[in-house]
Chains A and B, each alone.
Chain A
């Protein structure tokens, strides 16, 4: 996919890290990481939050000094005492939100502190010309005279890159640059990354987005828990593979264990002819002990509505639900919870998380009654429950008393998930559990699903990501326009599922359920 006329490995590495170790406050962020990058190579650096990516960036840019290990630049050992030293050596980093001078022009932002001057006075036209030439070479369409205040974040990033290059940077680190960009802006940035590569600039591209890694990198280095767990050529790997590597053999092992455990025969949840007029009709399915059933369908196909009915949010007009073989008429979410049903709603910000409340209260709000004695919630049992849950979902470290809104999307989702796991459900319904969260959190969610299924929980996963459902589920239920339009036992062909979801050949956008 990328036209390489020079095999990167053949060249002497520009940067080489050897056995880099670093820890703060007893936490080992990097435990012996080493890899080399050749000139003009684009290396993707990926890993979950806390895998050590940021620490590595800081070491490369001289913000931090490694406890142990060596850093080689063009084969020579170097040690950066401070960021300036790294910059002098030709290493520049570009962060998500670049530091620009809003009151200065694009040109001056690039040349600030070293504006071209003639006999003591800044030569503005010279500066503008140089800036224009530089931007042109990078394929950045920006007027050098524009005040930086008027630039978008994406444009500010480009100015920062131009500045780094004009400062003589030959090695550029991009630290999650695309997290704040729109799709079109991402394309533009990737285009510029390719152009830099053609000009022999070495790039280390740190991101959460694996599709970008596949598009733009030559090689991928995967970090996990401060160690390098993979170093592969991009052409020889795939997103699925990378996810697997990022979360280790763990998921594979879990899947294996679950296969061996074999879902039981006893049906935990049975639904017959469930109907809510105008939303869904005649929906029937079963979920066994330890089974994972995926529900696929277009938005508006009625998936969420069925889940909400099972959880007692929406009324039921007809049909029957059996829970452990006994008739179950969900009267309210509270009733559903007490009966052993948990539902992770689709939109965590709207329905799942009380963003202003602390993390610990969010995690335990479903079990306050259990933790309370005489109506008073006691501190210690809450802390114990929170510690236990945080460990199970691998919540990011830090105070549990902070507002939940301070967490990243993935960690927020883990908090919401914890709340439902705390109720020890028999039936766990997850509505788009991995939507909009980073790879690491996604993997954690999948792991949690697998673990609970292995432990005998009946799991229903509603998702729009077909590959994910294919990988995860024992069976896939397809809904279309409020009805079950197909049921498949995995493995199943993608096309079969899509056909059922779209209804034969006709491509109906968003079935007319609502």
Chain B
């Protein structure tokens, strides 16, 4: 006897547990609508472009997710990306090197920058939002210093890197494949290993994590370092995508990345959200951007819409969660009344006003 209410309850409950499902439905609906309404949207080239353009934001959102899960935040991912894009790019330009060297350099440099954040958070005991606001300026300033106001041009970069953006691996653009691999790896990492579960636990209740004896400090370092490394890697892709890297590369991109993660269901209060969700959030933002560009709607309206998307998604998550909690409470009441029915009404615990 599944009533409509039960069905709605279970739908919302699964939505509360896996917000990615809701996000996918929105993406599908938007894509179907845009494909029907806009001929320019329908082309394969456009689809590839959406996927490729989402990749950098998606990787930054993935990086951010690792830190957000632990109830920290990293505002410096954009600066990390910019600095790594320039330094790794010019290093490759000077000494050359294949993909393994490039990837190792990007990850390594990013990891060092992430370690800086972790040290400020752990040793100096700065709140992450302040520490990474500071490193956003510091790394951004370093970027200006090392670039001397000049820029890196595509011809200075190795050929394999500058052609990567347009390369397709099978049916998918190479960029999208890279993003997909990272989503899979990180999903396995956070969902299926104790390491990842520790991140969730820390963000869910930091005090309890400490009392339970989880390696909280170590995981904090690891989260920031991994976030930095991924941001560095995103920097390498940035150089590949744009060819030109200057002192402003990556400016402001951290906010888009955080927005993508939040839209994807990653909580700023830690403990919930998934890498897949964050990546889908990035995809949604870029797809909206793409549609607006086809419709020739101003870039300012795009920002407005991005803001509205954040508000809407956060509100929906909050509502769904509250609803599922109410369902939980109702289930409890029913259970409580079940075996012992006939007795007095359950009084709520004496609460202080």
Contacts and interface: CB of A to CB of B under 8 A. Distances in A.
Contacts of A183: 344, 346-347
Interface string A256-289: 0000000000000000000000000000000000
A349 interface: yes
B204 A121 contact: no
Contacts of A185: 349
B328 A146 contact: yes
B192 interface: yes
B346 to A, nearest CB: 5
Contacts of B272: 103
Contacts of B348: 182
B224 interface: no
A147 B348 CA distance: 21
B198 interface: yes
A115 B324 CA distance: 26
A184 B209 CA distance: 30
Given A99-B205, A115-B197, A184-B340, A153 B349 contact: yes
Contacts, number: 93
A181 interface: yes
B193 A121 contact: yes
B208 interface: yes
Interface string B323-353: 0110111011001100010011011111001
A280 B290 CA distance: 80
Interface string A375-414: 0000000000000000000000000000000000000000
Interface in A117-141: 117, 120-122, 141
Nearest to A155: B332
Instruction: Assign chain B's interface to a size class.
Output: 35 or more
Instruction: Tell me what chain B mostly uses at the interface: helix, strand, loop, or mixed.
Output: helix
A447 B347 CA distance: 32
Interface in A74-100: 83-84, 87, 99-100
B205 A101 contact: yes
A144 B272 CA distance: 18
Given A149-B325, A150-B328, A104 B201 contact: yes
Contacts of B89: none
A80 to B, nearest CB: 14
Interface stretch (B4-12, B211-219, B230-238, B279-287): B211-219
A102 B204 CA distance: 6
Nearest to B213: A84
Contacts of B270: 103
A120 B193 CA distance: 6
Contact of B201 (A113, A146, A153, A182): A113
A84 B198 CA distance: 18
A108 interface: yes
A151 B272 CA distance: 17
Contact of A101 (B201, B324, B331, B346): B201
B200 interface: yes
Contact of A99 (B211, B321, B340, B344): B211
B217 to A, nearest CB: 14
Contacts of A100: 205, 208
A237 interface: no
Contacts of B108: none
A113 B193 contact: no
Nearest to B210: A99
Contacts of A120: 193
A168 to B, nearest CB: 13
B42 interface: no
Contacts of B335: 141
Contacts of A146: 328
A235 interface: no
A180 to B, nearest CB: 5
Nearest to B351: A180
A150 B204 contact: no
Contacts of B17: 147
A349 B353 contact: yes
B271 A180 contact: no
Contacts of B193: 117, 120-122
A113 B214 contact: yes
A103 B324 contact: no
B198 A113 contact: yes
Nearest to A146: B328
Contacts of A239: none
Contacts of B214: 112-113
A152 B347 contact: no
A103 B200 contact: yes
B322 to A, nearest CB: 11
Contacts of A102: 204-205, 271
A183 B193 CA distance: 41
Contacts of B349: 153, 180-182, 185
B346 A182 contact: yes
Given A112-B197, A113-B213, A349-B353, 9 more contacts: A99-B212, A101-B271, A102-B204, A103-B271, A112-B201, A152-B332, A181-B349, A184-B346, A185-B349
Question: A-B pairs with the 7 shortest C-beta distances?
Answer: A150-B328, A99-B208, A103-B271, A101-B204, A103-B204, A121-B192, A103-B272
10 contacts: A99-B205, A101-B200, A112-B201, A112-B214, A113-B194, A113-B214, A147-B328, A149-B328, A150-B324, A184-B343
